């Protein structure tokens, strides 16, 4: 039986479909893959490696305590791109400002990278899946100049690639360049990623709803009302049954819903009036994937990918997943 194709072979196949492609996107994805393997190595050994588990004294720009692996993962990604020429700047959850790469390369790169280096990192100490989320745009500023903030503040529908690497019971890379979503699983023995989930489509509806019900009392009434409808209920004699699944890692919850069908909600609340998740490097990349897989992603009212950002670290509410479930949520709002 022929072996599965590797991520490298897949990227070359995809590139051949763009005659004008010079291979920068391929190089960029390969660099992300190298960084992901290095982060995976650290995550898998976190408990064994003195000084890698737990939190630092520092807080990130969001005022959240930085885990040691947050900083390590962030540095691994920046270093992976520092000596290459595809990317002219990086916006990261862990850096207040844009990271301009070494002078030698920063003007030549035609892409910008936005990254959540290790989403869900508070779960590392308890061995729950975490992940790296990435979003890629073509710069809007002229090549040969330093990247500018506008390069990063683009609406999500301008993304040219987005995806995540999930470090879980297996390590997977799931991404899209605008032609559907494909998933690759790493063979831990060789570090090679194989195409195991070609042309992923999110089921139109599914068995799961994901929300932090411990904060239910903080949500707007329409969210509370929708969440109640997700519970077991007799609805005109039809029993509608959903299971609640919420890990506290957005990537893990999104990945499960992508494969099995489901909805994830991070509503606005009295504590987080614009929700907790960041638009640029959490909501946009996952919304891009959701739509490419046939799903839907809104901020409660509008399509996530149409939102025009004004700040690097701005937050936005997120309702994302199976198209029919998101539409059922929207119908609740209209009642």
Residues at the contact surface with ligand P6P, assessed by CB under 6 A? 119-120, 122, 212, 248-250, 276-277
Query: In this complex, which beta carbon is closest to ligand P6P, that of residue 307 or of residue 320?
Result: 320
Q: Between 7-16 and 24-44, two packed helices, what is the crossing angle to 10 degrees?
A: 160
Give me 169's structure tokens.
């019971």
Nearer to ligand P6P, 64 or 328 (CB): 64
Please say which residue, 249 or 299, places its beta carbon nearer to ligand P6P.
249
Closest approach of ligand P6P to the CB of residue 72, in Å:
17
Smaller CB distance to ligand P6P: residue 109 or 321? 321
CB nearer ligand P6P, residue 254 or residue 288:
254
Q: Which is nearer to ligand P6P, 106 or 278 (CB)?
A: 278
User: Would residue 190 be called left, alpha or beta, if left means φ above 0 and alpha means ψ between -120 and 50 degrees?
Assistant: alpha
Q: What are phi and psi of 192, to 5 degrees?
A: -85, 135
Whole-number minimum distance, CB 277 to ligand P6P, in Å? Answer: 6
Give me the least distance between CB of 225 and ligand P6P, in Å please.
Answer: 20
Nearer to ligand P6P, 15 or 284 (CB): 284
For the bound state, the minimum distance from the C-beta of residue 107 to ligand P6P, rounded and expressed in Å, comes to 33
Min CB(120)–ligand P6P separation in Å: 4
| CA–CA separation, 151 and 280 (whole Å) | 12
- In 3D space, the residue among 183, 49, 178, 69 whose CA is nearest the CA of residue 130 turns out to be 69
Which residues contact residue 172 at a Cβ distance below 8 angstroms, ignoring those fewer than 6 apart?
A: 165, 166, 183, 184, 185, 186, 196, 197, 255
Least separation in angstroms between CB 37 and ligand P6P: 21
In the beta sheet, which residues pair with residue 173?
165, 184
* Cβ contacts of 49 within 8 Å, gap of 6 or more: 42
Minimum distance of ligand P6P from residue 131's CB (angstroms): 8
């Amino acid at each position: 039986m022929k072996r599965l194709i590797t991520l490298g072979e897949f990227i070359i196949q995809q590139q051949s479909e763009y005659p004008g492609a010079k291979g920068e996107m391929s190089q960029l994805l390969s660099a992300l893959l190298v960084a992901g393997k290095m982060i995976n190595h650290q995550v898998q050994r976190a408990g064994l490696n003195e000084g890698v588990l737990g939190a630092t004294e520092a807080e990130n720009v969001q005022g959240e305590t930085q885990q040691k692996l947050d900083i390590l993962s962030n540095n691994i990604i920046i270093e992976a791109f520092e000596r290459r020429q595809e990317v002219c700047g990086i916006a990261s959850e862990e850096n207040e400002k844009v990271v301009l790469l070494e002078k030698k390369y920063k003007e030549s790169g035609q892409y910008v990278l936005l990254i959540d280096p290790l989403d869900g990192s508070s779960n590392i100490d308890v061995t729950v899946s975490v992940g790296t989320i990435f979003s890629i745009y073509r710069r809007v500023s002229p090549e040969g100049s330093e990247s500018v903030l506008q390069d990063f503040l683009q609406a999500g529908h301008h993304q040219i690639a987005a995806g995540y690497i999930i470090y879980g019971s297996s390590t997977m890379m799931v991404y899209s360049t605008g032609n559907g979503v494909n998933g690759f699983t790493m063979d831990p023995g060789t570090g090679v990623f194989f195409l195991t989930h070609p042309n992923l489509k999110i089921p139109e509806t599914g068995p799961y709803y994901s929300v932090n019900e411990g904060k239910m009392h903080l949500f707007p009434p329409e969210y509370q009302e929708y969440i109640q409808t997700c519970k077991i209920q007799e609805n005109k004699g039809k029993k509608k049954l959903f299971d609640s699944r919420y890990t506290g890692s957005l990537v893990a919850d999104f990945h499960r819903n992508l494969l099995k069908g489901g909805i994830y909600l991070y509503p606005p609340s009295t504590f987080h009036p614009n929700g907790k998740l960041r638009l640029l490097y959490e909501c946009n990349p996952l919304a891009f994937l959701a739509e490419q897989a046939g799903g839907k992603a809104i901020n409660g009212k509008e399509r996530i990918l149409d939102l025009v950002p004004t700040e690097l670290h701005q937050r936005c509410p997120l309702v994302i997943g199976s198209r029919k479930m998101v539409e059922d949520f929207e119908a609740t709002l209209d009642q």
